[in-house]
């Protein structure tokens, strides 16, 4: 159907179609994939399957929330995957003091990386992609320095967090959902959220309106780092192991994909939390669907690449105001 | 605005000349120098200290080992230099590198020509697609090449039965010699890399195409107004980068005797780090291939030194290069601002 | 060295003997008007100054004097037209940028193109140089109908453009910039750098610039960079017939200006048609033969410059007739509000390289102070400097006696200074946010508790201002980017009024908005002043400036050149103050500075 509309569309209408797709395409995609799976995939409609999918997507969602803020401020944070690795190393090192202390240390570590990112961007004026690239290299190295090999985490609390559930919903998923609500609330209802959107939309206007541009940018990257650290903590709990070599690899890619597929333009000024969550879910479902139908994982990567390009293309048309 | 009446034209020119050097203070010169040659100084210093500290550092074996293992990254960094000078970035090189290796190993059964041409064709095509999306559709380079990074690895996995198959390079073939042979006691990949850098240097510094690369990165709008073929230059640069990454992968496969499927992760970062440390401006418009070579060598020497120390984990290399990157990037930003470069 | 001397020498010979001003004294009618003004103390002095202005371009003048006979009206007709347009019309969404404009550039003639904001100069230049395609009208070049698909096509056809911002590659060497795409090559296709450097050195010497061509362009002064751009443009085309210069002197030092004038003289001698855009009257009279005045996208005047005196030119540009009698109340401003109170805003000695020279002014509560001057005179810079948006070299700003940290927008806002920026679209509104969010933007911290936005308080404020300012939007949640210009401006006003400022800086508050909204904004400014706000008003609309202001501070080239008070606040006095040439010795070095023109140039 959508295909027909596209083909028949006059050039003037194409813009409108793309706009609609950017806005709601991600939900449409999720709905379509659900329908296709319900119709053609055996055992798709089981609580167990949904639980598996949700648990897998949860860390991506958490990281993508921070990424959405960074992209909304007309930036990007490539260091999130490395922050997850740093977080898991710190958790392993401080687990002896109990999970809470470990969590706090991990979060402080993530915040510190974010602070460096934010300072480079806000005070020195380094392009976000460059600043966070440096930290992406550095933070993973630091993680490996702190914890050179995989280490098992045997802590009952962590085990509960990783595999326990409440009313049939895994804790990890509940936490991700709660964080999504919090971030959505922050974006919509706080001074910080409004200022962030204004800065991402028009930096000169925000400056002339006297907004604390530097402070907001720094907070954005700190939040981004904290969320990545939390995701790293949860992933550690779920795996019952700390593996800084592989944890968070390509996470920046998944997070950016979720945000972009969710309809957030790379040009800043918009933060779509619902879209971002749906974007993460869409990619997860796409992967699951292809795998369930015996298509090799390689194809999911190729499909994902195509989806990213399409999403950026749709957002591009709208970017020109 | 008043003019002394009897001022001769020559006087005026002299006066004009004197007013000339706007913004070339000593501090700025110094920081420009540091940015351009800092990596070389660091490389020499570290190498000197290392050869004094470790007996095993300055041995022929170790140096040759470093040289060969630097060669592949160096070729990737060479292509990346062109991309970054145009103000772009290419995150797909790691995946393209490994794809090139796998295709070459597979192709080596059908002869050396196939082993070389197949990866070049496929990887060049990936680069071309990147270039077209970036230059014609004006999509952001980082997101396009991020997608290509996924796509290329996907292609590689589907060729190798999800990474389960490791194709071996046909034994005793000419292709294997490319990776393992020696010429005058030096590994063939080192010779090839050196030749490519000479060619790349000439291409960037001494041809019109090279001038266009600088112009596009320096000020895209001005370059278009000055008649530089902006879109074509960008497309070519990404294509070239794909070709070089693929070729580096093929050479690496020849060296390793097989198309290893788990390589290339994080290679794009190493290459970008080497290029930037070597003095190329990440915002584009300035850079040179020699610097990138020095950057690669610096990274490899640091890695080697960390290995020599033994008690240190190799992960320190990442910390050091991350720290290096931060310093270089700050210096660059500061320099760019002083020079009023947009 | 011989080559270095070449350009000036070309017009050297007929130097000192030639008459300083080929067209003689300004026509009587203009002089009458000038003498009539009470503030005009020494009319004679101005003539002397005019002479001085002419001397600036000694070489240039001289070059022209060779053909002094042709300089009159008849001579101009004889020169062959190189590039001309007839009935040129160009529309942009919602704007008629050019409305049936005719323009002719002739060989060996320097043609000034002038006009205030939104006059259509930039659009005309862009049509001439292939950036825009005209909607209607014909363009003919070298006697044949022509159309240029791209700027490059125009350039290759022989139309070169020098922009106010040098459009070259700052990081590349001078030689590479000069010869990009035309590098001399050896056999084998490699660039021959030796030849390239020799060639570029020679080319630049022709333009009076002697530099190490191996150095990056960015290390050169702006003037030298411009010469490089000029040399490149002129040599790039096989044959250059037209050179368009868009405010070439806006960031040049005086001696660089002089070199430029020398080059212009040479171009003219070579039979090139030069189109020269500038807001500096001295310069126009120093180098130009003819002038075309545009206003609001229409052709207002075209003809030889020599017969046109400054005052007349200014009145043409501003669209006000000298001594014109008008009925009261064309604008919505009423009465004066000047009070005897202490100034609420005091700016002292604002100085910024190339842009502002020791600008001082005061605004009392309830007073509307106008900032007069042509485009590029430093009006916008002054306002931005006061609002903390431009770092200053020197200067002090106090609000109600308390010093304000300069160079910090938040500090200025906290002190009670609010700026309505000139460039509403890129510096004012946040297009993607709603009306409501835009209004609340600056005052957010005041309408929040513990960082949480109080929707109720915002609603109250938004409601108040939407109704008070009569903002017309589908709903407060409509995106500001979708509103009309007038409503966008009102949203911005609301944003600042919500801050309860002490001083309001209004930079072109009614530009580009429809008549109804314009009247409303004017009325509002009046009301605000009556409520005791200090207002600094910048406007290219002379009527608005005169009727709206209690006092007018006149700027020229980034320095205060006069102040009109009481009965002197008239259009005539204003135009005289603007037209007056700088007094040698007393006035600061003519400020090459017009970043404001840059921002404003898209009208």
pLDDT 10s digits, C193-235? 888 898 888 888 877 778 888 888 887 777 778 888 888 877 7
Dist. CA C336–CA B23, nearest whole Å = 49
Write down which chains contact chain C via at least 3 CB pairs under 8 A.
A, B
Do C152 and C50 belong together in one domain? yes
Nearest-angstrom CA–CA distance, A147 and A246: 12
Report the pLDDT value the prediction gives residue C286, as an integer from 0 to 100: 85
Against chain B, the chains showing at least 3 CB pairs within 8 Å are A, C
Per residue in C53-98, pLDDT (tens digit) is: 333 333 333 333 333 333 444 444 567 888 888 888 888 766 778 8
Query: Treating both helix axes as pointing N-terminal to C-terminal, what angle do B9-18 and C254-269 enclose, rounded to 10 degrees?
Result: 130
Cβ–Cβ under 8 Å, residues C591 and C558: yes
In this predicted model, what pLDDT tens digit does every residue of B82-138 receive, in sequence order? Answer: 999 998 989 899 899 999 999 988 888 888 888 889 999 999 999 999 999 998 888
Q: Which residue has the tokens 């004006």?
A: B138
C508–chain A nearest CA distance, Å: 16
In a domain, C430, yes or no: yes
Contact in structure between B28 and B338 (CB atoms under 8 Å): yes
Q: Are C300 and C447 contained in the same domain?
A: no
pLDDT, mean of residues C466-470:
84
Q: How far is B257 from chain C (nearest CA, A)?
A: 38
Strand pairing of C559-565 and C551-556?
antiparallel
What residues in chain A have per-residue pLDDT under 50? Answer: 1-10, 318-321
Q: Nearest CB to B282: which of A130, A138, A148?
A: A130
Name chain C contacts of A202, Cβ cutoff 8 Å.
426-427, 429-432
Same domain, C494 and C540: no
What is the distance between the alpha carbons of residues C436 and C459, in angstroms, rounded to a whole number?
A: 8
Strand partners, C556: C559
Domain positions in chain B = 39-49+57-338
**Are the beta carbons of A205 and C430 separated by less than 8 Å?**
yes
Chain B, chain C: beta-carbon pairs less than 8 Å apart: 142
Distance (Å) from the C-alpha of residue C488 to the closest C-alpha of chain A? Answer: 13
Report the run of H or E that residue C548 belongs to, with start and end: helix C542-548
Q: In this structure, are C483 and C587 located in the same domain? A: no
The distance of Cα C467 from the centroid of its chain, to the nearest Å, equals: 36
Asked if residue B328 has pLDDT above 80, the reply is no
| pLDDT given for residue A119 in this prediction | 93
Q: What is the DSSP string of A61-130?
A: HHHHHHHHHHHHTT---TTHHHHHHHHHHHHHHHGGG-HHHHHHHHHHHHHHHHHHHHHIIIII---HHH
Is the ipTM here above 0.85?
no
Q: Distance from C42 to chain B by nearest Cα, in Å? A: 21
Tell me, what's the pLDDT at B28?
60
Query: Are B1 and C257 spatial neighbours (Cβ–Cβ below 8 Å)?
Result: yes
CB C351 within 8 A of CB C395: yes
- Asked if B276 contacts B295 with a C-beta cutoff of 8 angstroms, the reply is yes
Determine whether C471 is exposed, middle or buried from the number of CB atoms within 10 Å of its CB (0-12, 13-18, 19+). Answer: buried
Higher pLDDT, C502 or A149: C502
Q: How confident is the model at residue B337 (pLDDT cuts 50, 70, 90)?
A: low
In the beta sheet, which residues pair with residue B234?
Answer: none
> Which chains form contacts with chain A, at 3 or more CB pairs under 8 Å?
B, C
Q: How confident is the model at residue C331 (pLDDT cuts 50, 70, 90)?
A: low
Q: A312 and B150 in contact by Cβ < 8 A?
A: no
Between β-strands C417-420 and C402-404, what pairing exists: parallel, antiparallel or unpaired? unpaired
- Mutual angle of helices A47-72 and A251-261, in 10-degree steps: 80
Higher pLDDT, C4 or B255: B255
pLDDT, residue A18, reads 74
Q: State whether residue C422 sits within 8 Å of chain A by CB.
A: no
Q: Check if the beta carbon of residue C494 is closer than 8 Å to that of residue C471.
A: yes
Asked if the C-beta of B223 comes within 8 angstroms of chain C's C-beta atoms, the answer is yes
Average pLDDT of the residues of chain C: 75
Asked whether residue C224 is domain-assigned, the answer is no
Q: Kindly identify which residue of chain B lies nearest to residue A252, measuring between CA atoms.
A: B146
Q: How confident is the model at residue C602 (pLDDT cuts 50, 70, 90)?
A: very low
pLDDT at B80: 94
Please answer whether residues A76 and A256 qualify as being in contact, where contact means their C-beta atoms are separated by less than 8 angstroms. yes
Query: CA of C365 to nearest chain B CA: how many angstroms apart?
Result: 39
What's residue B326's pLDDT?
Answer: 81
Nearest to B139 among A124, A127, A313 (CB): A313
The percentage of residues in chain A with a pLDDT greater than 70, rounded to a whole number, is 93
pLDDT at residue C113 greater than cutoff 60? yes
- The set of residues, in sequence order, having a beta carbon less than 8 Å from that of A118 and lying 6+ positions away, is A217, A218, A219, A220, A221, A222
Q: Do B20 and C191 lie within an 8 Å CB cutoff?
A: no
Place B26 in a pLDDT band, splitting at 50, 70 and 90.
Answer: low
Q: Does some domain include residue C331?
A: no
The confidence score (pLDDT) of residue B3 equals 34
Contact A125 B146 (CB under 8 A): no
Query: Is it the case that residue C35 has pLDDT exceeding 60?
Result: no
Q: Taking phi first (over 0 means left), then psi (-120 to 50 degrees means alpha), and beta for anything else, what does residue B18 get? A: alpha
- Any domain includes C333: no
Tokens of C260: 């430029």
User: Within this chain, do residues C251 and C354 fall inside the same structural domain, yes or no?
Assistant: no
Taking only the tens place, the pLDDT of each residue in C261-280 is 888 888 888 888 899 988 77
Q: Does B213 touch chain C (CB under 8 A)?
A: no
Q: State phi, psi for B136 to the nearest 5 degrees.
A: -90, -45
Q: What is the pLDDT of residues A132-188, one digit of tens each?
A: 888 888 888 888 888 888 888 888 888 888 788 888 888 899 999 999 999 999 998
**Which candidate in A209, A270, A271 is best for mutational testing of the C interface (most C CBs within 10 A)?**
A209
DSSP annotation of C503 reads E
Query: Does residue C39 have a pLDDT over 70?
Result: no
Helix, strand, or coil here: C278?
coil
Nearest to C261 by CA among C57, C499, C112, C406: C57
Q: Residues near B329 by Cβ (< 8 Å), separated by ≥ 6? A: A120, A126, A130, A131, A134, B276, B282
Q: Using CA coordinates, name the residue in chain A closest to C425.
A: A205
Name the DSSP letter for residue C279.
S
Averaged pLDDT, B58-65: 82
Looking at the DSSP bridge assignments, the partners of residue C363 are C345
Cβ-Cβ contacts under 8 Å, C584 against chain B: 1-2
Asked which of C6-15, C319-328, C404-413 is least confident by mean pLDDT, the reply is C6-15
pLDDT of residue A304: 82
**Does B13 contact C at CB distance below 8 Å?**
yes
Please name the residue of chain B whose CA is at the shortest distance from the CA of residue A266: B140
Confidence of residue C600 (pLDDT cuts 50, 70, 90): very low
Q: Is C437 on the interface with A (CB under 8 A)?
A: yes
* Residue B87: count of CB within 10 angstroms of its CB: 19
| C387 vs A307: CA distance, rounded Å | 46
At C334, phi and psi to the nearest 5?
-130, 140
How crowded is the C-beta side of A114, counted as CA atoms within 13 Å?
Answer: 29
pLDDT at C118: 67
Pair C435, C410 in one domain:
no
* CATH number, domain B39-49+57-338: 1.10.3470
B285/C180 CB distance under 8 A? no
* Tokens, residue B64: 């040759």
Same domain, residue pair C100 and C142: yes
- Which chain C residue is nearest to residue B224, measuring alpha carbons? C152
Kindly determine whether residue C590 and residue B1, on different chains, have CB atoms separated by under 8 Å. yes
Q: Do C426 and A208 touch (CB under 8 A)?
A: no
Angle of CA points C301, C305, C310, to nearest 5° = 85
State the residue range of the domain holding C116: 45-158+237-318
Rounded Cα gap, residues A101 and C398, in angstroms: 51
Q: Average pLDDT for residues C471-491, to the nearest whole number?
A: 83
Cα–Cα distance measured from residue C520 to residue C71, given in angstroms and rounded to the nearest whole number:
48
Per-residue pLDDT, averaged over B4-12, amounts to 37
Residue B16 has pLDDT above 50, yes or no: no
DSSP single-letter state for residue C454: -
Gap from B110 CA to chain C (nearest CA, Å): 35
Q: Which of B17, B227, B281 sits opposite C210 (nearest CB)?
A: B17
Inter-chain touch B333–A302, beta carbons under 8 Å: no
C407 in Cβ contact with C384 (< 8 Å): no
The count of structural domains within chain C is: 3
According to the model, what pLDDT value does residue C77 have? 52
Asked if the C-beta of B1 comes within 8 angstroms of chain C's C-beta atoms, the answer is yes
Section C442-452 average pLDDT: 82
How far is the C-alpha of A136 from the C-alpha of B276, rounded, in Å?
15
Give the tens place of pLDDT for each residue, B186-197: 788 889 999 999
Q: Above 50 in pLDDT, residue C15?
A: no
């Amino acid at each position: 159907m959508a295909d027909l509309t596209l083909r028949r569309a006059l050039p003037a209408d194409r813009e409108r179609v793309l706009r609609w797709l950017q806005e709601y395409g991600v939900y449409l995609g999720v709905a379509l994939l659900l329908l296709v799976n319900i119709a053609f995939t055996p055992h798709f409609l089981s609580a167990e399957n949904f639980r598996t999918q949700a648990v897998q997507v949860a860390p991506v969602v958490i990281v993508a929330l921070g990424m959405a803020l960074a992209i909304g401020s007309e930036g990007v944070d490539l260091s999130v995957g490395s922050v997850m690795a740093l977080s898991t190393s710190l958790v392993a090192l401080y687990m002896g003091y109990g999970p809470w202390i470990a969590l706090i240390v991990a979060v402080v570590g993530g915040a510190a990386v974010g602070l460096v990112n934010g300072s480079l961007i806000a005070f020195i004026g380094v392009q976000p992609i460059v600043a966070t690239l440096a930290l992406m290299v550095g933070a993973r190295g630091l993680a490996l320095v702190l914890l050179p090999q995989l280490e098992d985490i045997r802590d009952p609390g962590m085990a509960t967090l990783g595999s326990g559930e409440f009313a049939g919903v895994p804790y990890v998923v509940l936490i991700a959902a709660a964080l999504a609500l919090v971030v959505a609330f922050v974006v919509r209802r706080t001074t910080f959220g409004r200022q962030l959107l204004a800065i991402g939309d028009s930096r000169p206007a925000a400056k002339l309106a006297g907004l604390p541009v530097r402070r907001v940018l720094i907070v954005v990257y700190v939040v981004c780092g904290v969320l990545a650290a939390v995701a790293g903590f949860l992933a550690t709990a779920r795996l019952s192991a700390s593996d800084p070599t592989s944890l968070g690899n390509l996470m920046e890619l998944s997070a950016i994909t979720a945000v972009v597929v969710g309809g957030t333009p790379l040009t800043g000024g918009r933060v779509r939390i619902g879209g971002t969550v749906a974007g993460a879910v869409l990619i997860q479902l796409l992967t699951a669907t292809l795998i369930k139908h015996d298509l090799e994982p390689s194809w999911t990567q190729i499909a994902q690449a195509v989806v990213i390009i399409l999403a950026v293309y749709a957002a591009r048309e709208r970017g020109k105001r | 605005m008043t003019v002394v009446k009897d001022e001769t034209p020559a006087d005026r020119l002299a006066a004009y000349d004197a007013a000339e050097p706007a913004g070339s203070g000593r501090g700025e010169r110094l920081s420009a120098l540091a940015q351009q040659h800092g990596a070389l100084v660091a490389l020499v210093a570290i190498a000197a200290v290392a050869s004094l500290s470790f007996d095993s550092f300055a041995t022929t074996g170790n140096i040759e080992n470093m040289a060969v293992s630097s060669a592949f990254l160096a070729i990737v960094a060479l292509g990346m230099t062109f991309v970054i000078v145009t103000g772009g970035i290419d995150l797909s090189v790691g995946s393209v590198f490994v794809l090139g290796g796998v295709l070459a190993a597979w192709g080596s059964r059908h002869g050396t020509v196939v082993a070389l041409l197949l990866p070049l064709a496929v990887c060049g095509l990936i680069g071309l697609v990147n270039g077209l999306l970036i230059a014609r559709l004006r999509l952001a380079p980082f997101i396009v090449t991020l997608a290509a990074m996924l796509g290329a690895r996907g292609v590689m996995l589907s060729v190798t039965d999800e990474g389960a198959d490791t194709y071996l390079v046909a034994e005793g073939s000419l292709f294997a010699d490319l990776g393992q042979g020696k010429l005058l006691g030096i590994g063939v990949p080192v010779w090839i890399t050196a030749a490519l850098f000479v060619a790349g240097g000439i291409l960037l510094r001494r041809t019109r195409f090279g001038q266009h690369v600088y112009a596009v990165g320096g000020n895209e709008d001005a370059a278009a107004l000055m008649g530089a073929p902006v879109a074509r230059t960008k497309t070519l640069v990404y294509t070239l980068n794909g070709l070089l990454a693929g070729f580096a992968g093929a050479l690496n496969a020849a060296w390793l005797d097989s198309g290893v499927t788990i390589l290339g992760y994080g290679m794009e970062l190493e290459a970008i780090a080497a290029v930037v440390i070597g003095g190329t401006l990440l915002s584009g418009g300035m850079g040179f291939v020699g610097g990138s070579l020095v950057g690669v060598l610096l990274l490899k020497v640091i890695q080697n030194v960390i290995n020599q120390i033994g008690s240190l984990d190799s992960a320190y290399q990442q910390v050091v290069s991350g720290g290096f990157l931060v310093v270089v990037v700050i210096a660059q930003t500061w320099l760019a601002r002083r020079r009023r470069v947009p | 060295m011989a080559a270095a001397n070449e350009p000036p020498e070309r017009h050297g010979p007929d130097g000192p003997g030639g008459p300083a001003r080929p067209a003689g004294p300004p026509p009587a009618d203009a002089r009458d008007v000038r003498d009539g003004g009470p503030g005009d103390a020494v009319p004679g002095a101005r003539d002397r100054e005019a002479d001085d202005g002419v001397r600036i371009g000694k070489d240039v003048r001289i070059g022209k004097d060779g053909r002094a006979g042709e300089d009159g009206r008849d001579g101009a007709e004889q020169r062959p037209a190189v590039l001309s347009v007839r009935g040129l019309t160009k529309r942009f969404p919602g704007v008629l940028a050019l409305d049936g404009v005719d323009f002719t550039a002739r060989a060996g003639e320097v043609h000034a193109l002038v006009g205030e904001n939104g006059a259509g100069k930039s659009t005309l230049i862009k049509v001439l140089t292939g950036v825009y395609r005209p909607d209607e009208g014909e363009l003919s070049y070298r006697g044949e109908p022509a159309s240029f698909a791209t700027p490059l096509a125009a350039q290759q056809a022989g139309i070169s453009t020098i922009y106010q911002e040098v459009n070259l590659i700052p990081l590349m060497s001078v030689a590479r910039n000069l010869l990009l795409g035309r590098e001399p090559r050896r056999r084998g296709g490699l660039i021959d750098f030796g030849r390239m450097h020799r060639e570029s050195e020679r080319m630049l010497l022709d333009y009076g610039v002697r530099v190490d061509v191996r150095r990056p362009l960015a290390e050169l002064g702006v003037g030298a960079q411009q010469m490089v751009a000029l040399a490149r443009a002129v040599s790039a085309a096989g044959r250059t017939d037209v050179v368009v210069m868009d405010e070439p002197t806006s960031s040049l030092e005086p001696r660089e200006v002089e070199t430029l004038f020398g080059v212009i003289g040479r171009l003219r001698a070579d039979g090139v048609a030069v189109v020269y855009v500038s807001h500096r009257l001295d310069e126009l009279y120093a180098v130009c033969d003819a002038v075309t005045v545009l206003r609001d996208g229409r052709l207002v005047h075209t003809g030889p410059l020599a017969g046109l005196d400054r005052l007349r030119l200014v009145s043409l540009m501003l669209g006000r007739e000298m001594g014109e009698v008008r009925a009261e109340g064309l604008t919505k401003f009423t009465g004066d509000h000047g009070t005897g109170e202490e100034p609420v805003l005091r700016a002292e000695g604002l100085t910024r390289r190339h842009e502002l020279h020791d600008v001082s002014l005061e605004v009392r509560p309830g007073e509307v102070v106008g900032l007069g001057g042509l485009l590029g005179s430093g009006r916008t810079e002054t306002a931005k400097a006061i609002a903390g948006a431009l770092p200053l070299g020197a200067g002090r700003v106090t609000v109600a006696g308390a010093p304000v940290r300069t160079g910090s927008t938040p500090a200025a806002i906290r002190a009670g200074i609010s700026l309505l920026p000139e460039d509403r679209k890129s510096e004012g509104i946040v297009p993607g946010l709603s009306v409501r969010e835009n209004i609340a933007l600056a005052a957010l911290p005041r309408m929040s508790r513990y960082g949480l936005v109080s929707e109720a308080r915002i609603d109250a404020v938004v409601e108040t201002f939407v109704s008070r300012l009569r903002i017309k939007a589908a709903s407060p949640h409509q995106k500001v980017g979708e509103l009309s210009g007038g409503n966008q401006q009102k949203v911005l006003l609301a944003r600042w009024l919500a801050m309860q400022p002490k001083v309001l800086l209004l930079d072109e508050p009614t530009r580009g908005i429809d008549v109804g909204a314009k009247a409303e904004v004017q009325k509002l400014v009046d009301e605000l002043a009556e409520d005791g706000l200090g207002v600094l008003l910048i406007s290219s609309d002379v009527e608005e400036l005169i009727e709206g202001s209690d006092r007018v501070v006149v700027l020229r080239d980034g320095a205060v050149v006069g102040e009109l008070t009481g009965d002197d606040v008239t259009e005539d006095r204003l135009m005289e103050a603007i037209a007056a040439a700088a007094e040698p010795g007393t006035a600061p070095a003519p400020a090459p500075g017009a970043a404001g023109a840059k921002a404003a140039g898209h009208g």
